[in-house]
Amino acid sequence: MHALCRAVSPAIADCELSFIGREPINVALAHLQHGEYVECLKKLGVSVIELPAEPGLPDSVFVEDTVLLFDELAVLTRPGAESRRAEVDAIAPAVQAVRTQVERISAPGTIDGGDVLRIGKRVFVGLSQRSNQAAIDQLASILKPFGYSVTAVPMQECLHLKSAVTALSDDTVLINPDWVDAAYFTEYRQIRVADSEAHAANVVRIGAAILMPSCFPETLALVQAAGFAVSTVDVSELQKAEGAVTCCSVLFIG
Ligand code: CIR
């Protein structure tokens, strides 16, 4: 397993925010926490391609939103936030180095990678403030020849689909049913986040291992009780930029 990651921008305090209020971000601590996140990926066996910080792109640490990496091809996104569109050109060379076929979502489509949840050959895409039906239609036709089925999923009250639901394995999801209709995921065993931990559904799956933020102890216990091996990392400063754990990497099979 490989990952693309990008160091925290010194301008992260100017990040986009949609569903949370602005709080001061300790940039030095954000760097440190991001470094620990990258170390954690490496300990779990991931070979990490570390891209340099982009001083002019405040949200560029959140690489997940800029590209969808499938085994067969890559799809560069067109982020919903105008301020984030230049991040796509910034990551394109690194993407072209790992995939020969690289497609791109075009206007009027907008889509953030945080809205795209792949489980096997199923691809769920959140109809969020960032991702629209035009992009979902483009993605569906790009992926059809490769046997993927794409499903648009309505959602509310959170930034991205993967704020509300992620996969723990090919047959189990971790979900906050207040933010997304659990009926879209009935083919999977569902573990619900703890009531007091609305933001806990965003976890990274690396093979059989799970990586989640350290600030959700009740949901951690639920996931462990379901038999998953979980590592945790403190990402408090990145959470102030409305990020979590999936957004700081693009994982792919080399
Ligand atoms: C944004 O609003 O776009 C960034 N401040 C946070 C993006 C987080 N991305 C993600 O969870 N995939």
Which atom of ligand 1 is least distant from the CA of 241? 5
Instruction: Provide the pLDDT for residue 44.
Output: 97
CATH number at residue 230: 3.75.10.10
Closest CA to ligand 1's atom 8:
243
Q: List the catalytic residue out of 5, 40, 158, 247.
A: 247
Whether 199 is catalytic is: no
Dist. CA 62–CA 65, nearest whole Å: 6
Q: How many domains does the structure of the chain reveal?
A: 1
Mean pLDDT of 25-50: 98
Q: Are 126 and 153 in contact (CB under 8 A)?
A: yes
Ligand 1 contact via 30 beta carbon (within 6 Å): no
Instruction: Provide the pLDDT for residue 38.
Output: 98
CA dihedral 31, 35, 37, 38 (to 10 degrees): 130
pLDDT band at 185 (very low <50, low <70, confident <90, very high): very high
Q: List the catalytic residue out of 40, 160, 199, 248.
A: 160
Count CB atoms within 10 A of the CB of residue 107: 8
Q: Is the dihedral of CA 163, 153, 128, 114 positive or negative?
A: positive
Dist. CA 162–CA 219, nearest whole Å: 16
State the residue range of the domain holding 123: 2-252
Q: What is the pTM for the complete model shown?
A: 0.97
Q: Are 164 and 175 in contact (CB under 8 A)?
A: yes
